Amino acid sequence: MSILFANTAVRWCVRRKAAAEDHQPSSWLKRLDSWLSYSERAHQRAALRDIADDPHLLADLGLTRDEALAQADKPFWK
C-alpha cells in the first residue's frame, strides 16, 4: 500500500513541475509593465521639455529645440 502512495506522490510532483514550466504571466503583470513603460515615457518627455531651453544639453543629445519640443508634446502612449 505504501508503494501506491509513493507512486502517486511522484506523479503529482511531475505534474506540478510541468504546470510550472508552462505558466504564463498573469494579465495584471502585463498591465503593470505597460503602465510602468507609459509612466517612464511621460517622465522622459517632461524632462525633455525642461531642458528644451538649454542649448548645451540639447547639443549633447543631438537635438534642436524644435525637435525636443515636438518629441515632448507627443502623448505618452505613442
Q: For residue 46, tell me if it sits in a domain.
A: yes
Q: How far apart are CA 53 and CA 47, in angstroms?
A: 11
Per-residue pLDDT of the chain (78 residues; tens, 9 = 90+): 445 444 555 555 555 555 555 556 678 888 888 888 888 888 999 999 999 999 999 999 999 999 999 999 988 777
Q: Which domain holds residue 33?
A: 25-78
User: What would the grid cell of residue 26 be?
Assistant: 498573469
Q: For residue 1, tell me if it sits in a domain.
A: no
Report how many domains make up the chain: 1
Question: Which of 22, 37, 21 minimizes the C-alpha distance to 76?
Answer: 37
Q: For residue 17, tell me if it sits in a domain.
A: no
Q: For residue 58, tell me if it sits in a domain.
A: yes
Global pTM reads 0.55
Query: Are 75 and 55 a contacting pair, CB within 8 Å?
Result: no
User: What would the grid cell of residue 78 be?
Assistant: 505613442
The pLDDT value given to residue 29: 84
Helix segments in the chain, DSSP class H:
2-21, 27-50, 55-61, 65-72
